[in-house]
A = this chain, B = another copy of it.
Amino acid sequence: MSEGTQIEGLWAVIPAGGSGTRLWPLSRRASPKFLHDLTGSGRSLLRMTWDRLSPLVEDRFLVVTGAAHEDAVRSQLPMLRRDDVVAEPSPRDSMPAIGLAAAVLERRDPEAILGSFAADHVITDVAAFHAAVAEATAAARAGELVTIGIEPTHAATGFGYIKQGPGLDLEGAPHAHRVVEFVEKPDPEAARRYVESGEYRWNAGMFVVGATTLLELLAEHHADLVDNLRIIASDPRRMQDLWPSLRKIAIDHAVAEPAAAAGRVAVVPASIGWDDIGDFASLATILGRGKTRSLEVITGAEDIVAVDSTGLVAADSGRAVAIVGLDDIVVIDTADALLVTTKDRAQDVKQVVDELTGRGLTELT
């Protein structure tokens, strides 16, 4: 398949959730990271996700987001039709969200293939991504639950890994392999072994699977959840009363791990320049690719005075931001809150949000 060719029957499902706590104060509960242009592209991460997928699916999109974000999502993606957005009354983790999308899609098209791609990830090699999705779709048509496994570029400890088994020899999916197991985020030593072995891929949470296949896999352990999702899909008025009772569970635990243990999951390995922008260190790495010891700017370059400094800066408040003599510094200046930390400590930004919450300053979180 050449880049940009439509893939008939494939629907893009975009879970647009998660608060992005580790990107505070840019990302907030009321304005999560997928709504922001973090990479200086002029487009939000959500819009970039849509732009990346639309050559494959044309207008076959389903965005699943919190009710609080529906207006913002529609404002950034005005091409979405009324039924293209599923608004969750409350967050119940990824399985109810993607499961409901599957239940909605199987009613539209019993053969529908669902490709689930998070709204807040970065992919720099779009052609390679398209090729991987095409293979994954072919494998999904053969009945597999397919994940796209990212070729590791380093021994990351912030991602889960996928252990890859033998090749599957599926038509249209020459690189698809059996998945042996999904493994949790490793410690540095385990991560090093995984990467050196050549048998592991990063789990980017990208799934391609027949909508009905997904629900059947889910029903094996969570039949009641599938029943309720199909009721809501057939009668959206039931959302308000049924949704709060749904089991809060991630798709990994509900389906992917048990299905892998049963030998029913495939992986398509891919090198696509992927990152989940998990924290400011990750964002600094993305923006600084190919450079050494640079000071990367998210916004407001004209307001920044930097002397002998490297790291990451957002000057988002219109104020002058001066940084003198700091390496790997992170300075995020917004209208109502300022963060100063280092790339090494970027994961601990969550502690600030916890502290603000503890002080009752939820308007800042």
A→B interface (CB under 8 Å): 24-25, 305, 307-308, 319-326, 329, 331, 333, 335-342, 344-345, 348-349, 351-352, 355-356, 361, 364
Taking a contact as CB atoms under 8 Å apart, the answer to whether A322 and B339 are in contact is: yes
A133 CB to nearest chain B CB (Å): 38
Q: Which residues of B contact A323 (CB under 8 A)?
A: 339-341
**Measured between alpha carbons, how far is A321 from B24 in the docked complex, in Å?**
12
Q: Which residues of B contact A307 (CB under 8 A)?
A: 348, 351-352, 355
Given A320-B364, A322-B339, A340-B340, A305-B356 contact (CB < 8 Å):
yes
Taking a contact as CB atoms under 8 Å apart, the answer to whether B326 and A342 are in contact is: yes
A to B CB contacts below 8 Å, 12 in the list: A24-B322, A307-B355, A319-B335, A319-B337, A319-B338, A320-B361, A321-B340, A322-B337, A322-B352, A326-B342, A326-B345, A331-B340
**Measured between alpha carbons, how far is A209 from B205 in the docked complex, in Å?**
79
Taking a contact as CB atoms under 8 Å apart, the answer to whether A351 and B324 are in contact is: yes
**Chain B residue nearest to A320 in the complex (CB):** B337
Taking a contact as CB atoms under 8 Å apart, the answer to whether B319 and A352 are in contact is: no
**Measured between alpha carbons, how far is A323 from B349 in the docked complex, in Å?**
9
Q: Which residues of B contact A338 (CB under 8 A)?
A: 319-322, 331, 333, 338
**Measured between alpha carbons, how far is A320 from B349 in the docked complex, in Å?**
14
**Chain B residue nearest to A313 in the complex (CB):** B340
Known: A320-B356, A331-B340. 11 other contacts (CB 8 A): A305-B355, A305-B356, A319-B335, A319-B338, A322-B337, A322-B338, A322-B356, A324-B340, A324-B342, A325-B344, A331-B338
Taking a contact as CB atoms under 8 Å apart, the answer to whether A345 and B325 are in contact is: yes
**Chain B residue nearest to A342 in the complex (CB):** B325
Taking a contact as CB atoms under 8 Å apart, the answer to whether B321 and A352 are in contact is: no
Q: Which residues of B contact A342 (CB under 8 A)?
A: 324-326
Partner of A325, one of B305, B341, B355, B356: B341
Q: Which residues of B contact A320 (CB under 8 A)?
A: 25, 336-338, 356, 361, 364
**Measured between alpha carbons, how far is A58 from B82 in the docked complex, in Å?**
79
Partner of A324, one of B308, B319, B326, B345: B345
